[in-house]
Structure 1
Amino acid sequence: MVEEGISFVSKLKLDSRYKEIDSNSVEEGIQIGNIKIETDKIVLLGKPNTRKFLPQEFRLITTYNTKKEKYSYVLTNIFDLPAEEIIKIYKRRWDIEVFFRFLKQELNFKHLGSTSTNGIKVMMYSTLIVSMLIMIYKKLNNVGFKTAVRRIAFELNDLIMAMVVKQCGGDPALFFR
């Protein structure tokens, strides 16, 4: 991944082995939400099951979560952004993880109905459009997620029934008395 020029931001286990090469200065009191930046180092990571280190340099940012009272490491190969931006990127990454969990759990995007690239894209776009419509409905009507889904289902059902009644030559206004 690193050799291909792909940038990444990830967590690293606290017990991971590394060798510090250099350190970047960290401004005192920088905090993003409940995350405080403690250190910003340039490191070599230890190879698994050996005393050797990987040849690539990485950036290791130590953070402290003031709410959970826990330290954590954020590892990246992005050297040209401030530490605060790296932490914001990691937090956005986590938001994306939560969104995908939402898609899988709430919108049942667990099983792909197609194996072709185009079929998967159609399913993904459809699911994303539905999720955005639900979120917009939720916001406009000031209701919870499950209520929004239920109301949309009822309203779509009524709309479809009105279209069927009209197509059959009936008066939809009589149907919804």
Structure 2
Amino acid sequence: MNLLEIPAVQGALVGALATMLINYFLSYREERKKSEQVQFVSKESCRRILVYLSTMRDEEDQEAQKNLESRIDGIKVIQQLLSEMQLNLIPKKDIGIIYRIREKVQEIINDLEIFHHNRTTVRQFTANAEALIIRHDTDEVTRKQLQDEMKIHNNALQTDYERVCKDIDQHIEHLASFLHHYKDLRNKISNINN
């Protein structure tokens, strides 16, 4: 007698198969729900950083530079939110794109912080140089040297700012791509990583 011919065994097999299918369906549904949450947080993060960068790009140079520190702080808050997503709660197919978004956000912060540091250094040098120029005991040769150095540093800072503006345009393009093509990019990155 074949075991598969016994009704109890058949019922057990059908029950086991049904349990497996139900567990698979529930697991799939849970994974999909997590993926949607990760996608929402990722897209919203990209949207907010896009607002910071687009506003900075559209402002006059001096206004954009004046607001730079608060923008960096705002982007760091978003970076913190992204970094707090626990990897064990992120679906496997979303991990690759989350890493790419985190890398892009870190790159943006680095670009802005380097420029902010350079700007702060040049402003401090300029203030010190102007104070020396105003002093009555500074000779004419030293004054001329200080004025020339201020001009060189300010020109270098302007060149650096132009570089940052080009980088911001690229960052905006990449973030917009993450935002509008999230699923396609997620699938491509996931396929590459598998």
Give your verdict on TM over 0.5: no
Work out which of the two has the higher radius of gyration on C-alpha atoms and give 1 or 2: 2
Which structure's relative contact order is higher, taking Cα pairs within 8 Å and 6+ residues apart?
A: 2
Larger relative helix fraction: 2
Larger relative strand fraction: 1
Name the TM-score, length of structure 2 as normaliser: 0.22
Name the TM-score, length of structure 1 as normaliser: 0.24
